[in-house]
Structure 1
Amino acid sequence: MSDSSQKPWSNNPNAPKIPYELYFGEKTTFAGILIGAISYGIVIVLFLQCMGALFDPVNRRSGGVRWGLVAYSVAMFSFVTIFTAMNLNVQSISFIDNREFPGVKDVLPPGPLGYQLEIYSNVLSIVPNLMFLFNNWLADGLLLYRCYVIYAKNIWVIAFPCLMYLASLAMGIMLIYQTSQPDSSIWNSIAINFGLPYFSISVSLNILLTLMIVTRLVLHSRKILNTMGAPAGAGGLYKAIVTMLIESSALYAVSSILFIGPWGANSHVADIFLPILAETQVIAPLLIIQRVANQSALTSNIVVSGPATSLNFRSRGKSTGASSTLPDGYSMDSVGRYGKGTDELGVGVESTIDFRRGEV
């Protein structure tokens, strides 16, 4: 075994005299801190935009202030703010105040990473971990609810995902209990690591719901195109893709996969993606809430499966008497949108189809 003090992995005389694996772990942790901080800036912008949309007088006319969405958004933003602040505090204490942590032979490595493992069961680490889990549950819950809405409130469609969600809750509670014990963390090789089943179930649930929503939206888009008999242009394709990515929380699913892969392989690369996952599991729901607040999100009334029969073209409040083909009870306004009532949140129904260009 080579002597780490010789720095065989670097020709830089100023490089730290530590094994390369530890050196690589510190670099990935540092990169994760920076990317996570940038992502938190995106969270702030989206949160403010959501609040602006939810309290917008124009949007409020369709059903008043949706306090449930306001509370949900504030809760997620509060949790991620606490997570980000305390995580940065842990990194500061580790890399600055305890830079020369000696480690514990055959148990903990020296330096900042070893110190982080030393305090993993401390309140400094437990609180941000709790905030991460709370937001993870909230994000999965919203995605589950969106799937329920998009599938026209068919409870049997989401029966299995609901069981997975309950299993995720149970494993999350066990994980917090386990990591709160002395000398325990999600990075330790212990007999029963609840981190593996928790993240596996959470990521699997995320991917399953994402695929279910995307499938439903693709079928819905094709149905509308076939009904109208008009091909989708480049702009229509762009709108359809954006709608699917946002409505299905694809960003959240991708971030989960990017984290679980390296983490399952016990690679330090996971240190880059964990802070990103913590932020994207808030970014994705805020994007959906923003669409709901602006009355552009798909609802249980929009995604229907009945046969197309008639369409009433009308200006605002007036019927022109013209007709075409759309599901029963749907009508199009003067700007080329169609709708039918409101959804369960009091949001006016609106599609992403533009009849003037035949785009979805």
Structure 2
Amino acid sequence: MSDALFQNSYYIGNNFNCILYGVELVLYTMTMQKLLSHKTRRTRPDRFFIFFSTANLILITIYVAVQSVFGEEMWIVNADFPGGQGAYLEEFAAVWYQTMGTTASVALNLLSDGLLIYRCFIVWSDVRVVIVPGLLYLATLALGIVELWASGAPHDDFFAGLAANLGLSYYATSIGLNVLVTCLITGRIMTIARTSNKYLGAEISQTYVGVAAIIIESALPYTLSGIAFLVSYGMDSGISILFLSIYVMFTCVSPQMLVLRVVEGRAWRRNQLTDASTTLNFSSNGLPGASDYTNSTATRSAVVGDGGIHVHLQTTRKGDRSLEDVGKFAVSSDGSI
């Protein structure tokens, strides 16, 4: 593929690469500042997120650099190549550093999909939910290896021939996995949101089941950009290279947004929606003994389990540090108490 639409899309895609790479650098810096600022000994999750974030940054740097260098070689260094830019692309599409860039994008995809499947397990707290995504993940791994072999063969082209057919299978499987996991996470969060908003109020539930939670936890931009690329790639459209650039960049940016949300303590935790404390002012209203609770402090905790949301309320009397239970109740997944 070497028409004018493809060349223009390649150029615009490189510009989007630079913009989103800047976003990734900001997210990475914020994440590392949060992780490295811990005064206590770093936990295993901290070490994992340091490794994951750094690996993501290295892989996306390779991809962005490769795309920029190839564009420079095609449009500037070899501007007078016999046959023009299209002929240069067909001749050097499988150059070694392009294969390295494709390998980086496949590895990045595997890292991101793995994190997304893990977050799906965290949100559902049920291993059965991730069985099908896990099988699709293994299929993605196998197809990714075959795709790298096909696209890296001498004089082969990622956008034509056998490599294109294998690439379509690979991306269809990978993006199908994204869509499935995104739907599972979004559905779970929206189900909990209906119950938590009703019984806990928007203040507590918004952090964990709001719009931002749905977009970030489900890696929605990653999935939507993947669908756009898959459709254009399947249609053999020249604009597919633009959507590929955006898709690969969100393969890095969306997981990094999720990691930052986790290290800041705002992401969904396993079996727990939130623990929050609020100050409530109770008026006596002439009720016997009610004055004992005027300006008291109420602690409200909510835990998400398999049966629904379990709520525990406690108060502290004015001038007294002891806690008294106000009540406990459970909200089932169907909304009953």
Normalised by the length of structure 1, the TM-score is 0.75
1:312 equivalenced with 2:313 (yes/no)? yes
What's 1:10 paired with?
none
Amino acid at match of 1:171: L
2:65 to 62, 82, 85: 85
Number of positions where the alignment pairs a residue of Structure 1 with one of Structure 2? 294
Select the structure that is richer in strand: 2
* In 1: Cα distance, 2:244 partner to 2:163 partner: 23
Displacement of 1:53 after TM fit? 1.4
Amino acid at match of 1:276: I
Contact map agreement 1:310 1:323 (CA 8 A) in 2 = no
* In 2: Cα distance, 1:143 partner to 1:191 partner: 27
CA RMSD of aligned residues (A): 2.6
Unpaired runs of 5+ residues, structure 1, are 1-20, 103-109, 329-360
What's 1:133 paired with?
106
1:69 equivalenced with 2:49 (yes/no)? yes
Deviates more, 1:167-176 or 1:189-198: 189-198
1:248 to 218, 228, 248: 218
Displacement of 1:226 after TM fit? 3.2
What's 1:339 paired with?
none
* In 1: Cα distance, 2:226 partner to 2:94 partner: 24
Normalised by the length of structure 2, the TM-score is 0.80
Select the structure that is richer in helix: 2
* In 2: Cα distance, 1:319 partner to 1:295 partner: 28
Ranges of 4+ aligned residues in structure 1 off by more than 6 Å? none
What's 1:170 paired with?
142
Question: Would the alpha carbon gap of residues 311 and 140 (structure 1) be closer, same or farther in structure 2, given more than 3 Å must change?
Answer: same
Q: Is the partner of 2:237 in helix, strand or coil? A: coil
Contact map agreement 2:157 2:164 (CA 8 A) in 1 = no
Displacement of 1:57 after TM fit? 2.4
Question: Would the alpha carbon gap of residues 313 and 288 (structure 1) be closer, same or farther in structure 2, given more than 3 Å must change?
Answer: farther
Amino acid at match of 1:301: N
* In 2: Cα distance, 1:55 partner to 1:86 partner: 30
What's 1:291 paired with?
261
1:321 equivalenced with 2:294 (yes/no)? no
* In 1: Cα distance, 2:47 partner to 2:322 partner: 34
What's 2:247 paired with?
277
Unpaired runs of 5+ residues, structure 2, are 273-303, 332-337
1:220 to 185, 188, 192: 192
Q: Is the partner of 1:158 in helix, strand or coil? A: helix
1:267 equivalenced with 2:233 (yes/no)? no
Displacement of 1:324 after TM fit? 4.8
Q: Is the partner of 1:193 in helix, strand or coil? A: helix
1:34 to 15, 29, 38: 15
For residues 284-336 of structure 1, give each alpha carbon's deviation from its aligned partner in whole angstroms, at most 9, with x where no partner exists. 11111111111111011224232555413468xx76324355659xxxxxxxx
Displacement of 1:49 after TM fit? 0.7
Identity over aligned pairs, percent: 26
Amino acid at match of 1:181: A
What's 1:23 paired with?
4
Taking the TM superposition and a 5 Å limit, the aligned residue runs for 1:147-158 are: 147-152=120-125, 154-158=126-130
